[in-house]
Amino acid sequence: MSLKSERRGIHVDQSELLCKKGCGYYGNPAWQGFCSKCWREEYHRARQKQIQEDWELAERLQREEEEAFASSQSSQGAQSLTFSKFEEKKTNEKTRKVTTVKKFFSASSRVASKKENQEAKAPSPSINRQTSIETDRVSKEFIEFLKTFHKTGQEIYKQTKMFLETMHYKRDLSIEEQSECTQDFYQSVTERMQTRGKVPPEKVEKIMDQIEKYIMTRLYKYVFCPETTDDEKKDLAIQKRIRALHWVTPQMLCVPVNEEISEVSDMVVKAITDIIEMDSKRVPRDKLACITKCSKHIFNAIKITKNEPASADDFLPTLIYIVLKGNPPRLQSNIQYITRFCNPSRLMTGEDGYYFTNLCCAVAFIEKLDAQSLNLSQEDFDRYMSGQTSPRKQESENWSPDACLGVKQMYKNLDLLSQLNERQERIMSEAKKLEKDLIEWTDGIAKEVQDIVEKYPLEIKPPNQSLAAIDSENVENDKLPPPLQPQVYAG
């Protein structure tokens, strides 16, 4: 099996990364393949169609009610009142759904009812609560940044604070509606700076980055993985899926990375670290920056391995491998958070948008990965997924000439680990047998000793009377001769 044939399972044409409407921007699987702009147009079109259908239904009901109760004036009055209530209800619903943050910039928004004014003056719990150190730091940086723009900066700060207050009272809305309000706010501020403020495009981008950083740091706690969504369920599902695919090897994915090279191995570790670090960031732009850094490390690892620039066919399989190896925490929640609240211009163009789209494709591939994607038989795929067995080392004659050394070394290490495992099992079996033999030998020796003791019992005799010491004073009783006396001879 050649490496080129394996590319078929994970090859993605670059045209598939673009918006399927053909506008030239990057698409997003979360937006059904549309870019942010086209998706919003489709969403508004579908919503307006639904509103139109509701009004047509209301008119039809009105005609039916008028025809049914035309003979009774009282009934007609009652039905007229009923329709008035129904019309008022639909109008309120339409107003609630259609109204966006653009009204913040209109003069009519400053004219509110007495009740609304009282609510606006009421202290917001989100403002009065003890803010974190990071929130205070971001707020100070935002204020200092806007000071350089004088009047325009004051207006931006005013509208931003008004937006945060409005979002506080919209926490009961769905996360999609909150996302729409945020995206409308981004668009309104951008258009206002470009048309009224005449701010240059490069400064508009910097201002929008600071606005996004400020508001999303404040809103992160409430809009990241909210309980009203199934984001947490998706996180657990993708984590379980990645754990089940732990057996997938770089050779199966056709990853052109040789981890035997120390520099390449360091790049792989850095890429995994960056993709995991994404979860610790609060601002969507910072999360995108982690994805971008991870992708650049991947490109560098491929370039060092192949001694040539990496292609898209090399990058995507390696990104899939990094995701499988790192298993980033709350992956789906982070993707959804970026999709909902990031400045859409970053997701539609530029390297951030390109890398983010590839990450979405990698996650989608992992979710749908099957035997055909890895060029495996269904039987082998099922055995690997169930944990009954794992991929074995390929024979040397089956390696293709262009197979990277890292894959060969990995299979060599797997084979060595398998041999060590068999050796350990054999040693444990022999150790248990030796333990059993020692117990049997001990019991046998103890039985033999017991038999000998019973057959030849020991007779313990009393000790003999001890003799007196030679220098004892009781010499006569012992019938010992007197000691010799020294004699002196005269010479």
**Domain check: are 187 and 236 in the same one?**
no
Q: Tell me the pLDDT band of 215, cut-offs 50, 70 and 90.
A: very high
Choice among 15-19, 126-130, 402-406, 430-434 with the minimum mean pLDDT: 126-130
Q: Given this model, what pLDDT does residue 134 score? A: 83
Look at residue 405 and tell me whether its pLDDT is greater than 70.
yes
**Domain check: are 251 and 375 in the same one?**
yes
**Domain check: are 321 and 199 in the same one?**
no
Q: Does residue 410 sit within a domain?
A: no
Which has more pLDDT, 30 or 419?
A: 419
Looking at the DSSP assignment, which residues form a beta bridge with residue 18? Answer: 26
Give the domain CATH number at 218: 1.10.246.120
Q: Does residue 38 sit within a domain?
A: no
Q: Given this model, what pLDDT does residue 403 score? A: 64
Q: Does residue 357 sit within a domain?
A: yes
Q: Given this model, what pLDDT does residue 16 score? A: 63
Question: How far is 382 from 380, CA to CA, in rounded Å?
Answer: 5
Look at residue 390 and tell me whether its pLDDT is greater than 90.
no
Which has more pLDDT, 440 or 30?
A: 440
**Domain check: are 163 and 255 in the same one?**
no
Choice among 353-357, 361-365, 454-458 with the minimum mean pLDDT: 454-458
Q: What's the whole-number mean pLDDT along residues 439-450?
A: 92
**Domain check: are 247 and 215 in the same one?**
no
Q: Does residue 127 sit within a domain?
A: no
Q: Given this model, what pLDDT does residue 202 score? A: 87
Q: Tell me the pLDDT band of 114, cut-offs 50, 70 and 90.
A: very low
Give the domain CATH number at 277: 1.20.1050.80
Q: What's the whole-number mean pLDDT along residues 457-480?
A: 63
Look at residue 299 and tell me whether its pLDDT is greater than 50.
yes
Task: Give the best-scoring range by mean pLDDT among 244-248, 392-396, 417-421.
Answer: 244-248
Q: Given this model, what pLDDT does residue 395 score? A: 44
Q: How many CB atoms lie within 10 A of CB 81?
A: 10
Q: Tell me the pLDDT band of 166, cut-offs 50, 70 and 90.
A: very high
Q: What's the whole-number mean pLDDT along residues 470-489?
A: 65
Q: Tell me the pLDDT band of 277, cut-offs 50, 70 and 90.
A: very high
Q: What's the whole-number mean pLDDT along residues 477-482?
A: 64
**Domain check: are 235 and 337 in the same one?**
yes
Look at residue 238 and tell me whether its pLDDT is greater than 90.
yes
Q: What's the whole-number mean pLDDT along residues 459-464?
A: 73
**Domain check: are 371 and 324 in the same one?**
yes
Q: How many CB atoms lie within 10 A of CB 476?
A: 8
Question: How far is 183 from 161, CA to CA, in rounded Å?
Answer: 16
Q: Given this model, what pLDDT does residue 110 score? A: 40
Q: Does residue 149 sit within a domain?
A: yes
Domain stop point among 194, 223, 252: 223
Q: Does residue 105 sit within a domain?
A: no
**Count of alpha carbons within 13 angstroms of residue 102, beta-carbon side:** 10
Residue in the structure block whose two tokens are 């790049």: 267
Which has more pLDDT, 3 or 375?
A: 375
Look at residue 176 and tell me whether its pLDDT is greater than 70.
yes
**Domain check: are 263 and 164 in the same one?**
no
Domain, as residue range, for 201: 133-223
**Domain check: are 200 and 152 in the same one?**
yes
> What percent of the chain shows pLDDT beyond 90?
41
Q: Angle at the Cα of 307 (from 303 to 310), degrees rounded to 5?
A: 35
Q: Given this model, what pLDDT does residue 275 score? A: 96
**Domain check: are 193 and 173 in the same one?**
yes
Look at residue 130 and tell me whether its pLDDT is greater than 80.
no
Look at residue 150 and tell me whether its pLDDT is greater than 90.
no
Q: Render pLDDT for 38-96 as a digit per residue (tens, 0 to 9).
A: 766 666 676 667 777 777 777 777 777 777 767 655 555 545 555 555 556 555 555 55
Contact 182, 35 (CB under 8 A): no
Q: Given this model, what pLDDT does residue 84 score? A: 58
Please tell me the total count of domains within the chain.
Answer: 2
Q: Tell me the pLDDT band of 224, cut-offs 50, 70 and 90.
A: very high
Mean pLDDT rounded to a whole number for the chain: 79
Which has more pLDDT, 389 or 153?
A: 153
Q: Tell me the pLDDT band of 329, cut-offs 50, 70 and 90.
A: very high
Length of the chain in terms of residues written: 491
Domain stop point among 370, 386, 402: 386
Which has more pLDDT, 302 or 421?
A: 302
Q: Does residue 489 sit within a domain?
A: no
Q: Does residue 99 sit within a domain?
A: no
Helix, strand, coil in percent for the chain, rounding step 5? 70, 0, 30
Domain stop point among 371, 386, 401: 386
Choice among 105-114, 177-186, 240-249, 396-405 with the minimum mean pLDDT: 105-114
Spell out the residues 6+ positions from residue 193 whose beta carbon is closer than 8 angstroms to its own.
Answer: 152, 156, 199, 204, 207
Look at residue 397 and tell me whether its pLDDT is greater than 50.
no
Spell out the residues 6+ positions from residue 12 whose beta carbon is closer than 8 angstroms to its own.
Answer: 312, 316, 361
> What percent of the chain shows pLDDT beyond 70?
70
Which has more pLDDT, 139 or 106?
A: 139
**Domain check: are 337 and 204 in the same one?**
no
Look at residue 98 and tell me whether its pLDDT is greater than 80.
no
**Domain check: are 172 and 263 in the same one?**
no
